[in-house]
Amino acid sequence: MVYIYVGEDPYYTYLECKRNIEKKYSENKDIDFYKFDGVLDEVSKVIDTCMTYSFFASKKVIIYDRCNFLSSSKDKQDAKKEKDIDSLIDFAMIEDYDVELNLIVTPSLQKSEKIKTLVQNSNLVSVQSLSEDDYFQFINRKVNSQNKKISTDACKEILARCKSADGKFDYLQVQNNIDKLCLATDNITIDDVEALVYKPLEDKIFTISESLLNKNTAYALKVFRDLLSLGYQVYSILPVLYNSFWFLARVKYLAIQGKNIDEICSNMNEKSFYRVKYALKNIQYITYKNLNKILSDLGKEENNYKYENRDPEASLETFMCLFDKNYL
């Protein structure tokens, strides 16, 4: 018997499969459980396990996670993978109720005749991702189960920081961040979230500005291209990059006035001591005048792609390539 679990979130899809198995066999102790990984384990190994007689249990339950060769994310299958699909179809057509094979596929099944045949001979389970309201309830339940508290603002900020460029949440990321926050404090506030939860876009933009100021243009370009590959558009990257240099310019101005780190934090209403500390380190070799020139040029970059139809990616890459020459 074959079940195919299909969902957008890899870990949540796996979790739903595991929950269904536990619910189904909670009272049956005479079972052998196996877990395989589609990236690490060959289909032949999984099928051999399915077909091998068990001397110690009356039933086998197998989870085959990350079956990427069945996924729509793969544009083309090689000959070997085609044979793997054939092997799964052959097993699915056997009416063996003593073996349950659970295949986990994300984000969706590829469209082909062979996949259609596999589905026809299997049980398809569509796993719906949690909505924002569902995640909000999940966070509160998980925090309350540990006798902790969390503010509404903190909950919203966690979700904002665990959202991808295409607006989807990562279940495992949300869960791990909640566990980390619960270890750190009994009453989770937005200050705790800002201090402990990674903010993907802002943190990567900080890395870009830091790399440029330290004359590591190649790494800045790599991080920029990584952001593009994650689905972020230049239109969303540019304002955050501008704000990053705006922050640095304000720190530089106050440092010129003779303010120490604590005074700078106070003047800027900045809660992160280390953010100001690293900013001071990164701006020691650039003038306040040139930081303002960077802000001016980034403003022109926005005008260039909005009103002059320039390629925004190429334009921002040119800005980075010439950064050392123009500002340092």
Domains of the chain: 2-127 (3.40.50.300), 132-196 (1.10.8.60), 200-327 (1.20.272.10)
**87-114: average pLDDT:** 91
Tell me what pLDDT residue 277 has.
87
- For residue 150, pLDDT beyond 90: yes
Strands 59-65 and 99-105, by their bridges, are parallel
Using omega within 30 degrees of 0 as the cis cutoff, is the peptide bond preceding 107 cis? Answer: yes
- For residue 294, pLDDT beyond 60: yes
Percent of the chain, pLDDT > 90?
61
Tell me what pLDDT residue 308 has.
66
What does the CA dihedral 244, 248, 254, 255 come to, rounded to 10 degrees?
150
This prediction has a pTM of 0.68
Tell me what pLDDT residue 307 has.
66
Tell me what pLDDT residue 95 has.
79
- For residue 196, pLDDT beyond 50: yes
pLDDT level of residue 78 (50, 70, 90 thresholds): low
Measured CA to CA, the distance from residue 166 to residue 234 in angstroms comes to 14
Q: Which residue has better confidence, 23 or 311? A: 23
- For residue 8, pLDDT beyond 70: yes
pLDDT level of residue 77 (50, 70, 90 thresholds): very low
**277-296: average pLDDT:** 92
Mean pLDDT, the chain, rounded, equals: 89
Q: Which residue has better confidence, 254 or 307? A: 254
Q: How far is CA 96 from CA 14, 60, 148, 266, in A?
A: 23, 10, 47, 70
Tell me what pLDDT residue 269 has.
86
- For residue 234, pLDDT beyond 80: yes
Measured CA to CA, the distance from residue 11 to residue 119 in angstroms comes to 22
Measured CA to CA, the distance from residue 189 to residue 186 in angstroms comes to 10
The continuous run of DSSP H or E covering 157 comes out as: helix 152-161
Which are the contacts of 83, defined by CB distance < 8 A and separation ≥ 6? none
The closest of 210, 242, 208 to 227, measured between CA atoms, is 208
Tell me what pLDDT residue 148 has.
95
Residue 214 CB: number of other CB atoms within 10 A?
15
**18-42: average pLDDT:** 90
Tell me what pLDDT residue 241 has.
92
pLDDT level of residue 76 (50, 70, 90 thresholds): very low
